[in-house]
Chains A and B, each alone.
Chain A
């Protein structure tokens, strides 16, 4: 399976729109893209996960790296529109308490 990655500016916010699956095969390209965007100081990135129907623990690893990078350079990111099964991973791992997550699809929050 593939992951389609698209990014564009919406005012001050950089939107990172993902579609497909985040797993060991697609995680490296996502990591490169996300960390690249977050390394710009004061960057505000909105990661749209609406079209992501599967994510495994390697995907979590990417967002944890993102969190560490964001803290280092004072940028930030928000995860939006998570599918229920994807949100479940953030919930189990306790990451929903340390990351900004908005608009989970079909309940969850």
Chain B
């Protein structure tokens, strides 16, 4: 190993000064010098340099002290190797992190969906991954008549595999015909795609809905997804969306129930993934009621601002950390 990484001359001068003066200021300078030492200088090299510098200053060093330095340098050998390994791993980790960031960007591009702008229905959405890659997915489509299809899904299993899996779902959905597709049919088709293509242990929950923009009817079906809520403006209360269905990919042929609800003026439809209610505040789990309370409080704002307020509320809680990916969609029927 090269010794040029430590300024040996400077080190020697400082050491000499210190031995002569015992001045604390010199000690401080030594500390400054240590900051300049490159991280790939191993600890045994530093000791070796110290030994050389010391020999230069006092050539008549006691033989025992000389030998003890040889001994110390030998003792440091395996520590030095571990130290080097640590730095190699760190470099590698940075490299991997950069690659994952590229993958996350690619995911954003692959899975991007446009929030439709439509008269009468205001849509807000936020989706934040717990790690770099998001296992949640949401998707909007608008058919020829202007009706809005919305999918919200969560891949069981997190990180990179989940993200790639979601891309598969998206492309399967995009291959469906563009005319009016009812939620029940979409889920049945997707279930077949997922069942055929997944390794065991990876599964998807999805809530799929079709909002009829002309009749204000909300059609939906769920494949094991966390139920959402409808805020009824006339009653000032949330009602849990009552739907049931098996998650995608467990069984080959699954029939899904389809439900329909009427949506009145100023009603809100709240769709979410379980990250929303699994967020942790210290040792406490965030209750769904808390999330709904924040939504209710801001119900008169535009839909996007409502979902942003929820995320800000959660973020402000002390010790808040996302345990799972977080996705929240609010659909608001305008008056």
Contacts and interface: CB of A to CB of B under 8 A. Distances in A.
B302 interface: no
Contact of A94 (B202, B226, B246, B278): B246
Contacts of A57: 154, 156, 205, 274, 324
Closest 5 pairs (CB-CB, A-B): A93-B224, A94-B246, A57-B156, A65-B201, A65-B200
B227 A92 contact: yes
Contacts, number: 59
B226 A60 contact: no
A98 B201 contact: no
30 contacts: A23-B323, A24-B158, A31-B201, A56-B278, A57-B154, A57-B274, A57-B324, A58-B156, A58-B158, A60-B156, A61-B156, A61-B201, A61-B202, A61-B203, A62-B201, A64-B200, A64-B203, A64-B250, A67-B250, A69-B200, A92-B225, A92-B244, A93-B224, A93-B247, A94-B224, A94-B244, A94-B245, A94-B246, A95-B246, A98-B246
Most buried by A among B154, B201, B251: B201
Interface in A35-93: 56-58, 60-62, 64-65, 67-69, 91-93
B157 interface: yes
A10 interface: no
Nearest to A27: B201
B152 to A, nearest CB: 14
B316 to A, nearest CB: 24
A23 B247 CA distance: 19
Contacts of A94: 223-224, 244-247
Nearest to B278: A56
Interface in B200-225: 200-203, 205, 223-225
Contacts of B247: 60, 93-95
Interface of A: 23-24, 31, 56-58, 60-62, 64-65, 67-69, 91-95, 97-98
Contacts of B203: 60-61, 64
Most buried by A among B154, B227, B278: B278
Contacts of B251: 98
Contacts of A60: 156, 203, 247
B135 to A, nearest CB: 9
Contacts of A98: 246, 250-251
Contacts of A92: 205, 224-227, 244
A24 to B, nearest CB: 6
Contacts of B157: 58, 61
Contacts of B154: 57
Most buried by B among A61, A62, A64, A92: A92
Given A61-B203, A64-B250, 14 more contacts: A56-B278, A58-B157, A60-B156, A60-B247, A61-B201, A65-B201, A92-B244, A93-B246, A94-B245, A94-B246, A95-B224, A95-B246, A97-B246, A98-B250
